[in-house]
Amino acid sequence: MFMSKDRVGARTAIVVGGSSGIGCETVFRLTQGGWKVFNISRTPCINIKVNNICADVACGDDAYCGIRNVCRSDGADLLVYCAGCSMAAPLEYAREEDFRYLFEVNFFGALRSVQAVVPYMKRSGGRIILVGSLGGDIPIVFDSFYSASKAALEMLARGADQELGPYGIRVTAVLPGGTATGFTYKRKIYSDDESGCYAEDLGRAVRSLAEMEQCGMQASAVAGDIYRVINSADPPLIKTCGVKNAVYRALSRVLPEKFVLHMTEKRYGQ
């Protein structure tokens, strides 16, 4: 089992976004495995073994300061960034405050979280898990802001692993596909009036995406993949969750791009 060197008996995990979905299931795995877990989110995690810190990753330095405070008091062997949000909106009519908020949660919050733990992990090594999405490799119709933010998160993981590897810090981007969680019902969806001429196509895409998610993997299965990465002696840089998703991602990289985009459009009812 993974253990930072020189920190025997003191495994501390910081989970950002551990109050629901994949994050909550990951917290459960960690507490069952004997980790001391701190959750940072707007709403507390119901797991009684978790130390909750209330903070919004998109607002100021609250989450950053919360992570730093944990690191100063308990150290940090593991950071798991699970926070995320989604919006279904036409590019033409998307409001700047909406897509900037999405990037604050999905990408910049992750970046600040990594910056917060690195000075402490450099002392004895550690693990960083960034929960991305298969949608970062294969665009989601009318949710391209989400896809763009997850693509950026995956590239952040690649660069961070190269930079931090010499200090004993390993970074992995975990890429789930559709997952059955409440995330589906929290998505910001532009109304017909807000979507204009795209309303009908957007509606079909949203319904297809919701069905794909609710018929997809269980959050507990994704958390199981995350936990196996955490405990791996040689963790992968990229971990795609589920055999079907791994095959789909592999095919998207070898098939002609126009064919992949065409199949993506069909998948979302376009």
Position 6 pLDDT exceeds 60: no
Q: What is the pLDDT of residue 1?
A: 53
Question: What's the rounded Cα separation, in Å, for the pair 184 and 130?
Answer: 20
Question: What's the rounded Cα separation, in Å, for the pair 182 and 22?
Answer: 10
Q: How confident is the model at residue 5 (pLDDT cuts 50, 70, 90)?
A: very low
Question: What's the rounded Cα separation, in Å, for the pair 36 and 212?
Answer: 34
Structure tokens at 256: 């002609």
Q: What is the pLDDT of residue 10?
A: 60
Question: What's the rounded Cα separation, in Å, for the pair 10 and 14?
Answer: 13
Region of 76 please: left (phi>0), alpha (psi -120 to 50) or beta. beta
**Radius of gyration for the alpha carbons in the chain, expressed in angstroms and rounded:** 18
Domains of the chain (ranges; CATH) run 12-267 (3.40.50.720)
Q: What is the pLDDT of residue 30?
A: 96
- Which tens digit of pLDDT belongs to each residue from 74-118? 999 999 999 999 999 999 999 999 999 999 999 999 999 999 999
- Which tens digit of pLDDT belongs to each residue from 175-198? 999 999 999 999 999 999 999 999
For range 246-260, the mean pLDDT: 80
- Which tens digit of pLDDT belongs to each residue from 125-153? 999 999 999 999 888 889 999 999 999 99
Run of H or E including 237: none
Residues 171 and 157 sit within 8 Å (Cβ to Cβ):
yes
